[in-house]
């Protein structure tokens, strides 16, 4: 199994399109989860091929040849022992590697390089750059999404990042598909925290809410913008000096607005809050 994990990684996964798992993770954690998935699929396929082989062998070897009842075998101890022990072994090995990867993904460091507080609310996001960990820390800069502007969460490569999540109302879920990871954002005292040990590829990645949270749940998008550490420091300094996120992004030579998604036309006021005042629609 360990050998499989080493051998597989990219090659087999790529050949089989990740066995349905999204490819192209941008954090070390996402790569480990991906490898676990690929290795599990290979293990499952190996068992599957073995079982299919046995079935077809039985079908051919013991097909009906006459009316005489074949030899009846029951209580074959070696056989019963085998098919009790083998599944337990397989499940144990899968469990072992799952526990290792899960512990690794959930691991929190003492002093992450960057701490960002993710605040979810119906139906947008606020990202607070913090000067420390936990509720005692202070926010030094903040980005707030609106109905017109998608919030852009700017983060650096090559630094460990802690996400501390809190919700103002209902349960949301912070999801960036390229992290191959999502975690629920809970209201009240529960502060869900997770870390990525680094982000390995600069770029713009769409982020979404992955927990059905109300009428405009589907519109709750944001963008993760991964930039070099130098640019990130400049961005944060610009934000801390009072610049808007858009101006600070322009200042470091980045696109000021989200490039992976755009604000949706919610028609919130028109349709939902003033149903009587809506003019007859001409269709759209």
Interaction site with Cu ion (CB under 5 A): 172, 209, 213, 220
**Using DSSP, how many helices (H) and how many strands (E) does the chain show?**
6, 10
Nearer to Cu ion, 4 or 170 (CB): 170
H/E segment holding residue 171:
none
**Rounded to an integer, what is the distance from CA 245 to the centroid of its chain?**
25
CB 196 to Cu ion: min, Å: 21
Nearer to Cu ion, 216 or 257 (CB): 216
Nearer to Cu ion, 132 or 214 (CB): 214
Nearer to Cu ion, 165 or 195 (CB): 165
- Determine the 3-state secondary structure of 91 from DSSP: helix
CB 185 to Cu ion: min, Å: 8
Length of the chain: 284
- Give the number of other CB atoms < 10 A from CB of residue 190: 12
Edge to edge, the sheet with strand 181-185 lists 152-156, 222-227, 203-209, 172-176, 181-185
Nearer to Cu ion, 97 or 222 (CB): 222
Pairing of strands 181-185, 114-121: unpaired
């Amino acid at each position: 199994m360990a050998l499989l994990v080493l051998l597989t990684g990219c090659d087999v996964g790529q050949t089989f399109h990740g066995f349905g798992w999204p490819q192209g993770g941008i954090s070390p954690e996402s790569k480990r989860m991906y490898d676990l998935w690929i290795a599990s699929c290979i293990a499952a396929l190996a068992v599957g091929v073995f079982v299919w082989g046995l079935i077809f062998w039985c079908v051919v070897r013991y097909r009906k040849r006459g009316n005489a009842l074949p030899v009846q075998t029951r209580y074959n101890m070696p056989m019963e022992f085998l098919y009790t022990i083998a599944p337990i072994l397989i499940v144990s090995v899968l469990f072992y590697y799952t526990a290792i990867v899960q512990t690794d993904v959930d691991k929190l460091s003492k002093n992450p390089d960057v701490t960002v507080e993710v605040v979810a609310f119906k139906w947008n996001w606020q990202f607070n750059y913090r000067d420390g960990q936990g509720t005692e820390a202070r926010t030094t800069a903040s980005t707030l999404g609106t109905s017109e502007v998608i919030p852009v969460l700017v983060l650096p490569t090559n630094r460990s990042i802690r996400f501390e999540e809190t919700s103002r109302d209902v349960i949301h879920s912070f999801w960036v598909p390229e992290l191959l990871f999502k975690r629920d954002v809970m209201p009240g005292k529960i502060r869900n925290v997770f870390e990525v040990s680094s982000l390995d590829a600069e770029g713009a990645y769409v982020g979404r809410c992955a927990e059905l949270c109300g009428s405009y749940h589907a519109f709750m998008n944001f963008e993760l913008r991964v930039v070099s550490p130098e640019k990130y420091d400049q961005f944060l300094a610009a934000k801390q000096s009072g610049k808007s996120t858009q101006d600070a992004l322009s200042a470091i030579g980045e696109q000021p607005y989200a490039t992976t998604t755009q604000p949706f036309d919610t028609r919130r006021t028109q349709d939902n809050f003033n149903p009587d005042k809506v003019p007859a629609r001409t269709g759209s």
